[in-house]
Amino acid sequence: MVLEQKITVEGILYSVVISDEAQTLLAAKAAGRVIVGVTGTDGDQKLSMARYVVESQEAADPKYLERVVRRQAGLPWIIGEGCCLLVREFTTEDAGQIPKEPEDKEADRVFYDPDRLSAYIQGQYGFFEYGLWAVVRKQDGKLIGKAGIARCDGQGRMELAYHIFQPYRRRGYGEEACRIVLDYVKSEYDCPVYGVVEAENTASRKLLEKLGFVLKEQKYSESGHLCYLSEPC
């Protein structure tokens, strides 16, 4: 079975070859074309040349194909959008728009160093396909913060994380960005989500509670008294 689908991404028309034939996919890949393998329900492993594989051609819908094209073309995935904000994957060019803030930790420095951000994009998005994403204001394209999934804890739970840069706080952007992330996680993973905040961070605690999180446990750590909250199932 060989199927060719046309899809336009950011104004460019791409051709995607969808097939269960190894030789067809190898030839298409060698020609620089976008490919998707179809294994069927038996989970045949002969299509290892295809980074993206589906069980049926119907599963390769336009939304899925757009993500495949974006990954191969080095374009960011669109995570979702709300009234004021768009949440998408970071690009290396974003490093120049990210401010250095007093509360930054070592992990935050990844996002304003182009080389480290490029490595994060390749490793985190390329392997896990989730991480911290860019929060962009739709009206002017300004990068105003980060939001996404900090980690998966090994129990099938994902940790919600967000950070709105100082000039853009207290405008409701944090709530909108978190709702976009939560909608994405529910759609893609449908798993429990938890948040971690310092006890004295009243604003973040109130935001989590507004989003439907409930306090589950409290514990001490080196960074202070932390509150662990989990979204109800």
* pLDDT, tens digit (0-9, with 9 covering 90-100), for 114-152: 999 999 999 999 999 999 999 999 999 999 999 999 888
pLDDT at 42: 54
* 179, amino acid identity: R
Mean of pLDDT values over 212-233 = 64
- The H-assigned helical ranges of the chain are 22-30, 62-73, 114-120, 173-188, 202-210
Instruction: List the beta strands (DSSP E) in 25-174.
Output: 34-38, 53-54, 78-81, 85-88, 132-137, 143-152, 158-164
Q: Provide the percentage of residues in the chain whose pLDDT is more than 70.
A: 90
39 pLDDT band, cuts 50/70/90, is: confident
36 pLDDT band, cuts 50/70/90, is: very high
pTM across the whole model: 0.87
Domains and CATH numbers, the chain: 2-73 (no CATH), 78-191 (3.40.630.30), 192-233 (no CATH)
Mean of the per-residue pLDDT values for the chain?
89
